[in-house]
Amino acid sequence: MNNQEFNEVFKLLLTAYPNTKDKESVATIYFLTIANELTKKEFAEAVVKILKTRKSGFIPQPAEILEVAKKTADIEHQVILAKKMLIEGVRKVGSSGMVAFEDKGLHAVIDFLGWRRICTMDKVEFDNFLNFQFDGIYKDFLENPYETKNYYSGTYKIIGQAKLKLITYASVGIKNTKNLNFIKLEYKPQNEVRAVDFSELREKMLIGG
């Protein structure tokens, strides 16, 4: 972030905290601390978030700005990965059989419209959903988690399906999930559908049961 970009955002802070003393020296310290760590967009997003949530009357320290910026960037990255997982689920399973997602935040998104509804969207509608609704629902869930559905069924069941299809981050190429900021689904096996016992069915047919 160059000096001009920094100053454009830093003015927001000075406007919000007009009682800041020795503004030129403060600006220099903040620039040296922040400029090489953040882009203008990341700096601006952190400042806006601080202004929305912070009640202190003193200008936030660079360490606080960097911490908020990193957390915001992590969430934005997580949203991108979650969208990738949803797309994979629609592509692999669609409206057939049963499906669940490792990331419980995706269940919050799906609960908003319903799995079948999402699976029947055309490309334009699906893209609009990802671009304009997904982020808000997903981020709200991360901040205030709540109970969601445990799994989803398509418009028809797959005969003999004993276990649902669990879509994980590993299935979309993310091998290490330790540093990801998501709420893991605690799947309850009792919701699985019992496998069809074809031998039992065959015996009943033979004896006319």
Q: Both tokens of residue 82?
A: 């979650």
What secondary structure, in 3-state letters, does the chain show? CCHHHHHHHHHHHHHHCCCCCCHHHHHHHHHHHHCCCCCHHHHHHHHHHHHHHCCCCCCCCHHHHHHHHHHHHHHHHHHHHHHHHHHHHHHHCCCECEEEECEHHHHHHHHHHCHHHHHCCCHHHHHHHHHHHHHHHHHHHHHCCCCCCCCEECCECCCCCCCCEEECCHHHCCCCCCCCCCCECCCCHHHCCCCCCHHHHHHHHHCCC
Give per-residue pLDDT as tens, 57-106.
899 999 999 999 999 999 999 999 999 999 999 998 888 888 999 999 99
CA distance linking residue 132 with residue 111, whole number of Å:
16
Give per-residue pLDDT as tens, 132-174.
999 999 999 998 999 999 999 887 777 667 788 899 999 888 8
Report if pTM > 0.75. Answer: no
Domain positions in the chain are: 3-60, 74-191
